[in-house]
Structure 1
Amino acid sequence: MSIYSKYSNLLPIDCTPTKIGRRARLPLTIAGLLLTAQAQAFLPTPASLVTTGELALNTPDDNSASKSQSNEPTLVAYTEPNNTIKPSIGSNIAETSATSNHQSISSSNAQQLLASWRAQAKTKNLAKHITWRRLLYFFDDQKNLIGKKKDSSIVDDATFYLNKNGQQDSAAELDALLVALADEMATTPDNSNASNSASNRATKNSVQNSVLCRFPARVQWLTDTLNIDKSGLQVDCPELNDWMQKLAPEQLSIMFAQEYLDNPISAFAHTLLRIDSKASVADPSQIHHAVALNYTVGGDSTDNFLVYAIKSMSGGYDNLIEIDSYPEKLAKYLQEDERDAWTYQLALTPAEVQQIMLHVWETKDLKLPYYFTTDNCASEILRLIDVVRPQQHLLSRLPYAVIPSDVVQLLNSENLLASTNYTPADSTLRQAQLNKVKEQREQLGYHNNATQTLNEIKSAQLNPTSSIAADGQTLLPRRIAVADNNPIDRHPLQLGFIGLGQRGDNNYIDLGVRAGYHDTLDRPSGFPQFFDLEGAAATLRLYDNDNDKANQPSSVVLQNVTLVRGRSFNPVNSAKKGKTWGASIEATRVNDGSQQDGSDHLVGSLGYETGWSWAFGTPSAGTGEIPPQLCYTFLAGTAQAGRGINKGYRVGAGVNAGCRYQINNQLRAQAELQLPYWYHGSSDESNARGHYWQPISSLGLQYDIDKKQALRINANYEWQDRIDAKEDIQLSYRRYF
């Protein structure tokens, strides 16, 4: 709604007496007053009026033949000593010539204001101001991000700019906005003829193209920075007003949905913004008064998984900003995906909340490339906060990849999280019931006449318990203890390690790095139970060789490069649905066992596993956690290719079985037996085998020194008579960063 301020100031009239007869004084004085008032209307506004804040108000000529047909007020802008804009209302009943004179005065004022704004903008160097450039999607403080250049905006949509060179020149775009503001200050829509449809259409189009309606966040920042009063802008923005009224933003929170390996696109967790209205701020359980702002990939559902993953990683898809009902979005994570959720209220002021939402308005329809690791749901939240908190440079603190849990930890370290709330998934609530019933049966003994069987408790259809009320509108009070999966508590995702080991008769040193994420021996706090996902890892091995011995490995070898390796455990005796499975894509060093006294070779390896897992032990009291011990069995298939192995390839199938044991909060152990049967194809070489078993047993033990340090022991033994160095044992120091 337009805001009008009424002022009534008269033009100063300077009357100097002269030596004239008394009889002539009265008519001459009256004529002088009329002429002075009329002449004043045709003169440009003196600079003194601009600087001293005097109002120039036109006085209509009652004898004019051309009159305005409306008594609607007309806005005339004037300035005060601090250069802020104030509106004034004058009569619209004036001759055509008087109206023209009125507009020329407004135009003159606007030019004076524009000159003043330009001078201030130049003095403050606003064109290079980090907030201004962030509003335009310039990433000056970002390094090593795919597809981003410091000298241009990533937005190539011409409608996002007022100046044709705005994408490359933030100064030109700033000046274009100043000019547009000055023009809008000097122009008042003509409402004198309401029946004129052409005039109405022009006025409507003018409103729609107003910079205040198109770029409210930019205007807000610029008017605040230059101390410009926007009340001089007589523009109503119905679409923007309706949008803001519908969202009614009072408070923003981050909702974190934990990692979900059964959907690889969600394997690294997800974050979205919860927009609270006054009603949901007053009572957070009234989630139907909240809205979800979700930044995601606008992928093509007809693409297969491999194409989808490649395009998501490489910017082959556009981003998609979704604004949905918060209860519906929350239900998807809690009920469909069975993912616990953590909600963190952001410590932002009401003005910062409003500015973020105005910026969302002006960017919500942009088609920007989506990058899975750098421009994703988590990076967008940091970018929005950076717009209102430029001094904290949040996005630049995560230069290589932006992971949702890293964002939560960063905001926590910067004291930007005001409160925390845990919402358990439906399966977590059922697991809590299952734990309680099992505990009672262990204490009292099993009864065949129990009112609920374990299968009934685990069934979502037979036991529809949820954190959301049946009406889908309200969040119910939490009935179980908080789980140990708050991402704030987890170890840093990056890892570096150094290991001392012995393989056969050869001593070695391993140097390794892992970009992310977590394996089953890592410290479990802050992660979903039994979470196992590693990516972008590499190990370099340095051997202390004895050159007098045959078949010695090279002094320096690349031991392993892992693109991705992970396992999803959904125990069949728990309340979680889903299968137990695993997959890996890596290059690793192997001895294929087909040739006598063969040596190690680096091969590309692709593996997939599917099977079953079982949980056992005593879970944490009062929680919906699964018992901490785990055993599993997989049916596995693997394909490997490399120049050093027989025929250059081999395929294998077999069984992988193991157990993971949580000894205490700081110590865990895992044992596994792999029974692959390898096939190379037929061979004419008498000493080469085309197929064979190659069992491998392994043991791992990790002790956590603290959240960022650990010691690990790994031991492997290959049950293969043609391999000389069968055993491999290593002690490593691991540092998370």
Structure 2
Amino acid sequence: MAASCCAALHAAPNIPEAQLQALAMQPFWISLGHYETGKLGGWRSYIDDDDFFIASNGDSDPAAELSATVKALYAPATLADQHAQCKYPARTRWLNEQLSLTDLPKPQCQKYSEWMTEVSPNSTVLVFPAAYLNSPSSMFGHTLLRIDQADVDSNNTALLSYALNFGAFIEGMDNSMLYAWKGLMGGYPGFFAVVPYREKLAEYRSLENRDLWEYRLNLTPQETRRMMEHVWELKDIEFDYFFFDENCSYRLLELLEIARPGIELTDDFPITAIPTDTVRAVKDAGLIERIDYRPSRERELLGRAVELTDDEQQWVLRLAADQSALDDPAFGQLPEKRRALIQDGAFRLLRYQSTSGERDATTAARSFNLLKAINQNPPPLLDLERPDLPEEGHESRTWQLGAGSRGDKAFAEYGLRMAYHDLNDNLYGFPIGAQIEIAQLKLRQYENNHWQLQQLDLAKIRSLTPRNELLQPWSWQVSGGAERVSGKDDDESLATYLTGGGGGTWQLAGNTIGFALATARIENNRDFAAFVAPAAGFNSGLLWRNPLGNLLLEGKADYFYNGEVRRSINLTQQWEISRDLGVRFSAARDFSHQSTPENTLMLELKWYNY
């Protein structure tokens, strides 16, 4: 009898179907299930894991999932950690608020309670490590959330906080090219992870060589906790991971919509979700309370090197490589203030070098001796100017409208680039010498209404980082797609190609860098007898930051195995009209063994519009 009463006490209430259907269409429930409208109608969930859903068709029917959840909340409390209330605390809270479920059983959710106590969520910080071209997974930057305890500011304990990260799960050792391809095609599963913040920094060791931006959000403790309740529901749950849209940044926007119901962040990213764009969306939504900047070790080292002469930089290299150099009489004869700067530079160089390698006993001993010398003769504080805010740079998608001539033929050119920056683009918020262009299409309309595909880039990436006495980075580039090249009978042929190269970049003056790269190319061209023709060549030039914008002068050549030689010289100047508007003038002269030289002039309007 008692058992019967107890069962009746915890029976699911008889809620009208119309009420359940209405609740299932509420934006918050749609967010909890990560649903989107299907391409052919109906619903589908981004979550690619049956373990997340209670109803058999819960991934495509929000109403069925809601109804099944209500019933599951009334399961016997003896299920403990396996009870729906323990597995779905965010669902439980919301349904209880909407339906006044005052007679729910009270299971003991020990694992959830211990986890929530350990994380102790009180406030949220959006962390943006700046773009890092030498890592395919970080070319666009990355975003994660830091979950802080209540006393993080007063006790300066950010390293004791937790990092909330969404990322691809990679088994084995995929190389960079395979990683990029599988990331584009959704070849990796994605998972949320909550780990100590210090571990996440250690895992992303390259973060130490990337500027770090921390955007403290104005989420209340209640909103932060609501978000983390849902994160518990997503523990070990698999999503599809796509490099450009369903990525780290997009998933975090979904969580922020859970934290503060009513804000709309994901609606603006139907195709791509570039991290800087998502940071901008968070800012535009009024969620940012404060911005903190942490310079990378590389930026700190270069900031100190600016104060040193060439000879003093050589002393930095000696001290970093050999601790006995501290006792060299020639070093001791230097002025005390100069020795202080040199010692500090050597210590920073050691820290930078240890980022990419294990810290051995010899390096530790050199660091210790340098620290002792620094304590005895401290340098002035390093005062670095904060760089431009990355989210204040131009939008990622670019529309292009141009008019020009090739030889004696006039044309109009129409273009669209999905993402996101080249060497001439408006520079604010971007590092000079960095280029990432993805999915660029250009069409030309010649006289007599003759249309042709001029260019279709899958990807164009260039990293031109200047070399100096202390750091010797390689510059490199890679690109692939289809483009018009000089062909027979002074015509242009559409060739598909893949090219890459490496070399060096140097700072020639305060606002000018020069680069020289050796290149290799393979090309499919209807004018060639072979299906694929290889070539070797070079690409060199100057990039000048001037009052109007960026000017690029470059020359390049390809010497094909079949005897074809193709060379060109190009001059391009961008006028930065506003953040999201630019006017570009370009002039080029192309040489080919297959045709006479041709001149191309074009004036182009570029509108950066996501």
Give TM class, smaller chain: 0.7 to 0.9
Check conservation: 2:20, 2:66, Cα contact below 8 A: no
1:430 equivalent in structure 2: 301
Q: How do 1:534-683 residues align onto structure 2 when only pairs under 5 Å count?
A: 534-544=437-447, 555-573=450-468, 578-592=473-487, 597-618=489-510, 628-664=511-547, 666-680=548-562
1:125 equivalent in structure 2: 22
Check conservation: 1:338, 1:576, Cα contact below 8 A: no
Check conservation: 1:341, 1:422, Cα contact below 8 A: yes
Mark the CA change 1:273 to 1:263 in structure 2 (over 3 Å): closer, same or farther: same
SS in 2 for 1:431: helix
TM-score by length of 2: 0.85
| Offset, 1:387 | 2.2
Letter aligned with residue 530 of structure 1: G
SS in 2 for 1:152: strand
Name whichever of 243-252 and 667-676 sits farther off.
Answer: 667-676
1:212 equivalent in structure 2: 85
SS in 1 for 2:143: strand
Q: How do 1:369-518 residues align onto structure 2 when only pairs under 5 Å count?
A: 369-438=240-309, 449=334, 451=339, 457=345, 461-462=349-350, 479-518=382-421
Q: Which has the higher strand share?
A: 2
Alignment equivalent of 1:708, drawn from 580, 583, 597? 580
SS in 2 for 1:611: strand
Deviations 1:266-288 (A, max 9, x none): 111111111101231434x3222
Mark the CA change 1:638 to 1:355 in structure 2 (over 3 Å): closer, same or farther: same
Check conservation: 2:215, 2:291, Cα contact below 8 A: yes
Are 1:159 and 2:51 matched, yes or no? yes
1:226 equivalent in structure 2: 99
* Distance in 2 of aligned mates of 1:239 and 1:157: 21
1:114 equivalent in structure 2: 13
Letter aligned with residue 451 of structure 1: R
| Offset, 1:107 | 4.2
Check conservation: 1:251, 1:281, Cα contact below 8 A: no
Are 1:136 and 2:33 matched, yes or no? yes
Mark the CA change 1:599 to 1:376 in structure 2 (over 3 Å): closer, same or farther: same
Mark the CA change 1:532 to 1:661 in structure 2 (over 3 Å): closer, same or farther: same
* Distance in 2 of aligned mates of 1:520 and 1:133: 41
Check conservation: 1:501, 1:729, Cα contact below 8 A: yes
Deviations 1:41-82 (A, max 9, x none): xxxxxxxxxxxxxxxxxxxxxxxxxxxxxxxxxxxxxxxxxx
Mark the CA change 1:708 to 1:238 in structure 2 (over 3 Å): closer, same or farther: same
SS in 1 for 2:308: helix
* Distance in 1 of aligned mates of 2:341 and 2:196: 36
Q: How do 1:261-300 residues align onto structure 2 when only pairs under 5 Å count?
A: 261-283=133-155, 285-300=156-171
* Distance in 2 of aligned mates of 1:367 and 1:577: 41
| Offset, 1:351 | 1.6
* Distance in 2 of aligned mates of 1:423 and 1:157: 37
Structure 1 unaligned blocks of 5 or more: 1-99, 188-202, 472-477, 546-553, 619-627, 681-690
| Offset, 1:465 | 11
Deviations 1:68-118 (A, max 9, x none): xxxxxxxxxxxxxxxxxxxxxxxxxxxxxxxx24x444444545x713xx1
2:117 equivalent in structure 1: 245
* Distance in 1 of aligned mates of 2:392 and 2:533: 43
Alignment equivalent of 2:65, drawn from 168, 173, 186? 173
Check conservation: 2:184, 2:242, Cα contact below 8 A: yes
1:323 equivalent in structure 2: 194
SS in 1 for 2:280: helix
Mark the CA change 1:149 to 1:483 in structure 2 (over 3 Å): closer, same or farther: farther
Alignment equivalent of 1:525, drawn from 428, 432, 439? 428
* Distance in 1 of aligned mates of 2:397 and 2:385: 26
Structure index of larger Rg: 1
SS in 2 for 1:534: strand
* Distance in 1 of aligned mates of 2:65 and 2:465: 54
| Offset, 1:336 | 5.7
Structure 2 unaligned blocks of 5 or more: 314-329, 356-366, 369-380
Mark the CA change 1:327 to 1:391 in structure 2 (over 3 Å): closer, same or farther: same
TM-score by length of 1: 0.71
* Distance in 2 of aligned mates of 1:700 and 1:454: 40
Mark the CA change 1:372 to 1:581 in structure 2 (over 3 Å): closer, same or farther: same
* Distance in 1 of aligned mates of 2:469 and 2:157: 31
* Distance in 2 of aligned mates of 1:570 and 1:211: 53
Name whichever of 704-713 and 447-456 sits farther off.
Answer: 447-456
* Distance in 2 of aligned mates of 1:482 and 1:330: 24
* Distance in 1 of aligned mates of 2:64 and 2:601: 64
* Distance in 2 of aligned mates of 1:506 and 1:433: 54
Check conservation: 2:161, 2:197, Cα contact below 8 A: yes
* Distance in 2 of aligned mates of 1:694 and 1:172: 64
| Offset, 1:241 | 1.1
SS in 2 for 1:310: helix
Check conservation: 1:335, 1:425, Cα contact below 8 A: no
Check conservation: 1:606, 1:639, Cα contact below 8 A: yes
Letter aligned with residue 299 of structure 1: I
| Offset, 1:615 | 1.6
Mark the CA change 1:303 to 1:488 in structure 2 (over 3 Å): closer, same or farther: closer
| Offset, 1:172 | 2.5
Deviations 1:676-716 (A, max 9, x none): 32222xxxxxxxxxx15432111010111100111111111
Check conservation: 1:501, 1:731, Cα contact below 8 A: yes
| Offset, 1:153 | 2.8
Check conservation: 2:129, 2:207, Cα contact below 8 A: no
Check conservation: 2:73, 2:84, Cα contact below 8 A: yes
* Distance in 1 of aligned mates of 2:575 and 2:129: 29
| Offset, 1:497 | 1.2
Mark the CA change 1:414 to 1:572 in structure 2 (over 3 Å): closer, same or farther: same
Check conservation: 1:605, 1:638, Cα contact below 8 A: yes
Letter aligned with residue 180 of structure 1: A
* Distance in 1 of aligned mates of 2:235 and 2:424: 42
* Distance in 2 of aligned mates of 1:167 and 1:655: 53
Check conservation: 2:304, 2:382, Cα contact below 8 A: no
| Offset, 1:736 | 0.7
SS in 1 for 2:209: coil
Are 1:345 and 2:188 matched, yes or no? no
| Offset, 1:151 | 2.1
* Distance in 1 of aligned mates of 2:203 and 2:60: 41
2:327 equivalent in structure 1: none
1:309 equivalent in structure 2: 180
Mark the CA change 1:335 to 1:316 in structure 2 (over 3 Å): closer, same or farther: closer
Q: How do 1:682-701 residues align onto structure 2 when only pairs under 5 Å count?
A: 691-701=563-573
| Offset, 1:656 | 1.5
* Distance in 1 of aligned mates of 2:421 and 2:167: 24
Deviations 1:398-440 (A, max 9, x none): 1101111110001111111111111100000011101122599
Mark the CA change 1:139 to 1:463 in structure 2 (over 3 Å): closer, same or farther: closer
* Distance in 2 of aligned mates of 1:183 and 1:409: 44
| Offset, 1:249 | 0.8
* Distance in 2 of aligned mates of 1:225 and 1:575: 62
Letter aligned with residue 128 of structure 2: F
Mark the CA change 1:463 to 1:411 in structure 2 (over 3 Å): closer, same or farther: closer
Mark the CA change 1:466 to 1:653 in structure 2 (over 3 Å): closer, same or farther: closer
SS in 2 for 1:125: helix
Mark the CA change 1:226 to 1:217 in structure 2 (over 3 Å): closer, same or farther: same
Letter aligned with residue 701 of structure 1: Q
* Distance in 2 of aligned mates of 1:429 and 1:335: 15
